[in-house]
Amino acid sequence: MRSHLSVLSLLLSLLAAHVRALTFNVNVRQRAAAVLAARANGQNAVPVANTHNSEYIANITLGGRQIPVLLDTGSSDLWVTGSVPNAKDVGKSVSLSYAVGKAAGDVYTATLEFANYTVQDQAFLLVQDTSSFSVDIKSQGYEGLIGLGPNTGSVIRDKLDSASGDSVLDRIFSQNTTSSNFLTILLNREGDPSSASTGQLTVSEVLPQYSNITSMPKLPVTKVHKLTDEDQHWQVLTDVNGVLGPDGQPIQVDSIVPSAPDGQLVVVFDSGFTLPQVPRAMADAIYGRVQGAEYNTASEVWTIPCDQLIPLTFKFGGVEYPIHPLDVSSSDFNMVNSLGNPVCVGTFQPITSAFSLLGEYDIILGMAFLRNTYTLLDYGNFMENTASDRGDPYVQLLPVTDVNQAHKDFVQVRLNGVDTTGDSSHALLPADQMQHSPISEAEKKKAYEEMILSRWPYIFVGCLLFVLLVAGLITWRCCVRRRKKREAKMANVRLPDTGSNAPRSPGAQAISFSRLEDGALPDNMEMRESKGYDYRSDYRPSFASSRTRV
């Protein structure tokens, strides 16, 4: 996810010295071994190297130069450092923000080779100056990043405003219309004796040993609003009560996404996040009942004793996905608690800097979750100008963690082979003794802003209805007032006085009337014919003026 590249600021500060000690040659040897494993598992599989479970790296060839790049399903652009042979400058510049700094420079095009596909004139950002990065990315084993997210999130595409700026996967699928437009990812776990030696990535094909992934539930991707589709990610809904905590019970958390069904949460799958981001109440429920747990306010993370095994399970499409206990806490951060004792960092941390102000998702499941699944991402109609039968995009997840074997791995790695997980010192505290992490003022402000911004369509519709109601009321009042004025003016119209003082038309004769009694005419009644009297002529001006004033 852009602005949160792979390692959060916590990881960057805590692992800086350790990661810098990792030489590039070691990564080269890892990738060489990965190539052999990939060729054995699938003809076109791309080997994925692992740097301390915090970065996953694959090779691309750009302009004839082989470049190791981070795999990021949370963004959609390609950028590299150094120089690229035979690259063409398109005359545009862009800047992308990540946790390690800004990737800024000019947009170029060059021939790209990736996953046994070749793309001519692939647009990418060439970053010449890496001084803004907080770490030496080359010492960590990569020299760029490839975004594997939906094309709508591409900044380069928006800058070029044409199909020439489309993302790598969009270009590959567009020129290979007979192939299925999906990507699969398998991440390995460093430090786990039962994990594979390398990860794998495939395009339009599945790994043979995991072919049953195609029978797993197709989880529909939830679409964000069209006006904010640059924030579209690989996001799906959990099941109702879809997160089971350390005690095996559902963790009850309300979604901040207005359209989310009751009891379900919107989850983003992002291979660029080392530490999954969850609602604060969920992080508290996972770690707050562990004996010896502490919340580090400076780093904004939970820490726990490294020998504490914590069960955690997610549910999608009716399938349970258990998390390996080595992925629920990490010993790679060299942190100590308030007593100075070494502790592990809880990997499922309260969502802070990645909080969705627009209320588009609740959870970001990064590497610590994705190591427990073989993941298939089908781009469907995310593709530009795709055939109508591509269907909607979806995600399929195949669980790859065996709970019993994972327990044995934890005992071997964290407990030196002696299983003490059942000791009273490892028992969870009662629910009423659960610790709660503090909420900062900045987080409260974000929550309030999200409450407003996430409901902007409803607020807009409500405001529009209010304006229409007020306009209708004003119009109605005006109509009523005009009608009353018209009636009042009509009531003021009177026939002319026919008495002796009333003016007569030339030639008109007086007409005298007496009261009739018992149906007989009075003897003194004189009735003369009126000649030359024009009723309409005398009274037309009065009616005309009345109509004019209405």
Tell me, what CATH number does 403's domain have?
2.40.70.10
In a domain, 511, yes or no: no
- Given this model, what pLDDT does residue 176 score? 85
Q: Does the pLDDT of residue 21 top 60, yes or no?
A: no
* Per-residue model confidence as pLDDT tens digits over 155-187: 999 999 888 899 999 999 998 888 889 999 999
* Per-residue model confidence as pLDDT tens digits over 79-129: 999 999 999 999 999 999 876 688 999 999 999 999 999 999 999 999 998
Q: What is the mean pLDDT of the chain?
A: 81
Strands 78-81 and 88-98: unpaired
Of 413, 439, 465, the residue at which a domain comes to its end is 439
Q: Does the pLDDT of residue 516 top 90, yes or no?
A: no
- Given this model, what pLDDT does residue 12 score? 44
Of 410, 439, 468, the residue at which a domain comes to its end is 439
11: pLDDT confidence band, cut at 50, 70 and 90?
Answer: very low
Count CB neighbours of 238 within 10 A: 22
- Given this model, what pLDDT does residue 476 score? 82
Strands 277-278 and 144-147: unpaired
Query: How many angstroms from the chain centroid is the CA of residue 246?
Result: 28
In a domain, 12, yes or no: no
The number of residues in the chain equals: 550
Of 421, 439, 457, the residue at which a domain comes to its end is 439
Asked if 259 and 212 sit in the same domain, the reply is: yes
- Given this model, what pLDDT does residue 527 score? 45
Q: Does the pLDDT of residue 238 top 70, yes or no?
A: yes
Q: Among 118-122, 146-150, 331-335, 517-521, which stretch is predicted with the lowest mean pLDDT?
A: 517-521
Asked if 208 and 150 sit in the same domain, the reply is: no
Strands 342-346 and 301-304: antiparallel
- Given this model, what pLDDT does residue 136 score? 85
- Given this model, what pLDDT does residue 2 score? 56
Stretch (H or E) spanning 328: helix 325-328
Burial of 337 (0-12, 13-18, 19+ CB in 10 A): middle
- Mean pLDDT of the 203-208 span: 96
Q: How many domains does the chain have?
A: 2
- Mean pLDDT of the 418-440 span: 94
Q: Does the pLDDT of residue 530 top 60, yes or no?
A: no
> Cα separation of 156 and 162, whole Å?
10
- Given this model, what pLDDT does residue 26 score? 36
Entry pTM: 0.76
- Given this model, what pLDDT does residue 483 score? 80
Range of the domain at 236: 203-439
> Cα separation of 69 and 125, whole Å?
13
Instruction: Decide: 293 and 435 in contact? Cβ < 8 Å.
Output: yes
* Per-residue model confidence as pLDDT tens digits over 64-77: 999 999 999 999 99
Of 138, 114, 24, 29, the closest CA to residue 63 belongs to 114
Instruction: Decide: 146 and 58 in contact? Cβ < 8 Å.
Output: yes
Asked if 151 and 215 sit in the same domain, the reply is: no
Asked if 61 and 140 sit in the same domain, the reply is: yes
